[in-house]
Structure 1
Amino acid sequence: MKKINAMMLLGTLFVGSVAFAESEKPFDYEKNLQERQAIDQKNIEAYSCKNGVSIQEASQKYYEKLHNEFKNNDALRNEMMKDNSKD
């Protein structure tokens, strides 16, 4: 019985370590940046075609929208932090 328990423990540890090791993936910042820029460019071109404006005007509006979203998220985050600190 002790051998079976020991084998189960070792098997569980082995499977867990293999599963954890395979779940770790290095993060490639350069690749992520390139993918993000491709998505941005696609969105800008779609906005330009949909609204009949130049690429330059579409990119300006797109980045203004992103900037406003970041400001709104930052304000919301600060408000949540303030509310959490009251507790």
Structure 2
Amino acid sequence: MIKRSKLFGNKTRVTFCLPKDAPQGAVSVVGTFNDWTPGEHELKVRRDGTRTVTLSLGPGHYRFRYLASDGVWLDDEHADAVGPQGSELVL
């Protein structure tokens, strides 16, 4: 799931969230906003068992995927679109 909230100026706070039943172990969100660097934006476990990470992003078109520690790639069905190169987010 993706939550968005506008910030002052042209930035948007984007929270990437995975459900409790997502793969165990470390999961990071990687994409065009961080040069597809694993581990740079690792999701943290919340009390309810979901995992989230929040980024501040400028306007643009971003591609991203979640990368689990066992090398499993996950797309986000709540993204603006999902294509062969992953999930897409338009801000």
TM-score, length-scaled by structure 1:
0.22
Higher share of residues assigned strand: 2
Identify the structure with bigger relative contact order (alpha carbons < 8 Å, sequence gap 6+): 2
Larger radius of gyration: 1
Higher share of residues assigned helix: 1
